[in-house]
Every structure is written in structure tokens, then in C-alpha cells.
Chains A and B, each alone.
Chain A
């Protein structure tokens, strides 16, 4: 079986070229297209290193399971009892979360070479589920949307293609079922020359970021500097962090461009994930424009439901800022844990949660200011520029927790700061 990394190898591009030709010119009938798409998705996933038949089987079982539950919940008149509906949805969500926790952290551990937590005799320990963070969030979305009866056209073949869709399988964007369904059945999908133009441009943007910009930045990134980490000066740490921020942005947005471009070649629209996040004047705006599909998922399925529940407490209902801050901190701690299993990821989430809370408090204080001159300053270009600078620095400093573990951070600041 042929094996390749997505977007990084020549084999990937050759296979994609053949698939685009077959799907656009040889499979014209809608039903044939759906089957053809699914076969193409399965073929591409099996070509991923560390994605074998076992992984595919688990993915199929999970997909069938979540579709059946979603279908039951979505169809009016089948499960009428609200308590039962909640129980079915919650138990399914718990199962998906367990799968995510089990496979994701095992994947992280195996990459780090720390398998001591797992029994040596356990025969299933080599099964890796690449992309589990992303497809589990898609499945949770499907279950919750079905519970609210918000799935417009539940269809098993489209759902299989939605979960298995290879351009966004390994790292998103986390698209929504209805959006995928509309795009999948849209007439635009068959307009090959339009899709080729749009997709081709996007792929060039992505390759430019990945091959040129990332390569230029790589030697200056904090984790790649030639000096031992404890010998770095504060200035070197700062420029290493700045370089890391841009490297991270170009790497991930480059990946997203490639994913969106490849999906476009196949006639499917994926949602945008970035919108100039480093040009935003506060951390809330930065997060609204950084990894947009994840942020909106977290807002829709963690933050807002939590706010609704917490409003029932009279003490919090009277204090909307405290309510919002508690919910945002919890949401970002989950966001941190989603990114990785180390304590540094939890602290990274907490750091951003606290930053957003501080912004909430600052905004409330700002609203109380009655001075025209000060208010005019807040509307000025200077205030905007200072906001961009401070936000970028806040984000870059936070990346320390993202890129390094706690021990290394202590080593990095050894004798330089209070640590």
C-alpha cells in the first residue's frame, strides 16, 4: 500500500491529481459521486502513516454509531420523551469524549515515547487514531445539532464523507454538517474550471507559507535556536518568541490554505480558519480570528450552554461579568487540554481565559469613563496600534507555555527572572 504525508510529499499531489480527474470527469451521477468520494477518502486515509485497517474500523464503528444516534434524535416523533433524548445525547457525548481522551493522549504519549502508562501485553496499544481531536468534535456537533433537530438532511453517505473528508481530516477546519451537506450537493461542485481556479490559488498561497515563509522563520524560532536554552538572553527569548508566533501562524494558516484549496479542487467549500489575527486590537478579537472553526465550536458547544446554565444561579445572574469570566476561563481550560496532555497546555488555556476575563473587566471600566478626551483617544489610531502591539505580545508570551514544558521554561528563565 502506498504511504505518504498529506501536503508534504510529491506522492500526495500525484494521487490528488488523479482523484480530482476521476471525480470530476468520470463519475457524473450524484450517487456514483458519493460512493466515489467515499472510496477516495478511505484510500487517502489509509495512505496516511500510522493509519491502518484497525484505525479505519474504529472510525467506521464510531461514524455508524453517531449517525444512528443523530438520526434517531433528529427525526421528529421517534424519541419523544425529553428525558430520554437528553440521556441518549449525553451518553453518546460521553462515549465520544472517552474515545478522544483514550486515543488522543495515547497518541501524544506514544509520540513522546512514554508508554509506561499502558500495559505492555495490551495488543491494541499500537492503534493510533490520527485526527481524533477533529473528527470527535465533528461527531459531537452532529449529536448536539441532532438533539436540537437542526440537521437539515441526515444522510449516511454524506455523513460518512463528512467525517472521512481527507483534506480536513488531520487538522481541520472543523466544518459543520449542514454546511458540508449544502456544499456537497451544490451545483458549484461540478463547475470544474471555477473550482480549479479558486483551489489552485489557495494551494499556491498555502505552499508559499509552508515552503518559503516557514523555512525562513524556522532557524529563529525559540525552540530551534542553536544555543543551549539556559544560556539565552532575554532579548533572544523575545525574538525567538516573536519568530515562533509568526512561524506558528504561517505553518497553521498555510496548512489551512492547503486544506481549503484541495477541498475546493474537489468542489467542496471548507470554512475559513484565519482572518489576520495578529492585526486585531485585543485578545478577544484575536481569538475570534485565530483557528476560527475551533473557537466557534467552543463558543457554541461549551461557552454559551454554560452561560445559560449558570444564569440559573441568582448570585451570578446579578453579576454578568463574573458569570462571563467564569465560563470563559472554563472554556479556555478545555481548549488548552484539547491541545495536549501536559500541565503546560492547561496553564496555556488558563492564561488565555484569564486574559479574556481581564479584558472583560477592562471594557466594563472603560464604559464608565465620561471624559471626552480619553474616549477620543480610545477611538484613535494610536490606541488601535498600541492594542495590536499589546495583543501580539500577550499571545507570543503565552506561546512559551504552548511550545515548552514547565521544566524547560524554568530552565529558560533560570537566574533571569524570579523563577
Chain B
């Protein structure tokens, strides 16, 4: 069973990673939109170099 899960994870690594990332991006964006105490996205450090 565990071997099957590991195989599945290995086979779908890219899709799982993208889904995970999109999920958290959406959560953070929604939190940013909804909460008045939420912080804004900081400016890039490197932009002014």
C-alpha cells in the first residue's frame, strides 16, 4: 500500500507540486483580500539594484 502511494506520488510529482502551490497562493491571496490586518506583498529586494 505504502509502495503504491510512493509510486503515485513519484509519478505525479509535478502535478502535486503545482496543485499544492496554487492552493497556498489562493489561500494567501484570499487572506490578503479579506483581512484588514493582513500584510501586503513586499517589494522585491533586488529591483533597485
Q: Which residues of A approach B to under 8 Å, CB–CB?
A: 5, 7-8, 107-108, 111, 130, 133, 170-171, 201, 204-205, 207-208, 210-212, 214-215, 218, 248, 251-252, 255, 338-340
Contacts and interface: CB of A to CB of B under 8 A. Distances in A.
Contacts of A214: 41-42
A107 B45 CA distance: 15
Contacts of B41: 8, 210-211, 214-215
A339 B49 contact: yes
Most buried by A among B42, B44, B49: B49
Nearest to A133: B49
A222 to B, nearest CB: 13
A212 B25 contact: yes
A255 B44 contact: yes
Task: Give the one of B24, B29, B39, B47 with max A CB within 10 A.
Answer: B47
A248 to B, nearest CB: 6
* A interface, over-half SS: helix
A201 B16 CA distance: 12
What is the interface residue range for chain B against chain A?
Answer: 10 to 19
Given A130-B48, A251-B44, 20 more contacts: A5-B43, A7-B44, A8-B43, A108-B48, A170-B47, A171-B46, A171-B47, A201-B14, A204-B18, A204-B21, A205-B21, A208-B21, A208-B24, A211-B24, A212-B24, A215-B41, A252-B44, A252-B46, A255-B47, A338-B49
B9 interface: no
A29 B29 CA distance: 39
A404 B46 CA distance: 15
Which of A5, A8, A170, A208 is the most central at the interface, judged by chain B CB atoms within 10 Å of its CB?
A208
Q: Which 5 A-B pairs have the closest CB atoms?
A: A208-B21, A171-B46, A212-B24, A211-B28, A255-B44
B21 A251 contact: no
A255 B46 contact: yes
Interface string B10-49: 0000100010011011001100000000010111111111
